[in-house]
Amino acid sequence: MTIRALDGDDFASVLALNEQAVQQLSPMTRNQLCAYLAMATIALVAEADGRVAAFALAFEPATTYGSINYRWHAERFDDFLYLDRIAVSPDFRRRGIASELYDEMERLAAAHGRMVCEVNSNPPNVESLRFHSLRGYRRLGYLVQADGHETVMLEKPL
pLDDT for 87: 94
Task: State the Cα–Cα distance between residues 82 and 99, nearest whole angstrom.
Answer: 17
CB 59 within 8 A of CB 39: yes
**Dihedral of alpha carbons 126, 53, 90, 143, sign:** positive
Residue 62 to residues 19, 104, 107: CA-CA distances in angstroms?
Answer: 28, 22, 21
Output the pTM of the full model: 0.91
Residue 39 to residues 12, 29, 42, 66: CA-CA distances in angstroms?
Answer: 19, 15, 9, 11
Q: Indicate the number of domains in the chain.
A: 1
Q: Identify the bridge partners of residue 142 per DSSP, sorted by sequence position.
A: 152
Q: Shortest CA distance to 10 belongs to which of 59, 63, 57?
A: 57
| Residue 34 per-residue DSSP state | H
CATH, residue 102: 3.40.630.30
Q: Using 50, 70 and 90 to split pLDDT, how confident is the model at 25? A: confident
pLDDT for 146: 84
Domain that includes residue 152, residue range: 2-157
| Residue 121 per-residue DSSP state | E
90-143 tens-digit pLDDT: 999 999 999 999 999 999 999 999 999 999 888 788 989 999 999 999 999 999
Q: What is the mean pLDDT of residues 53-82?
A: 94
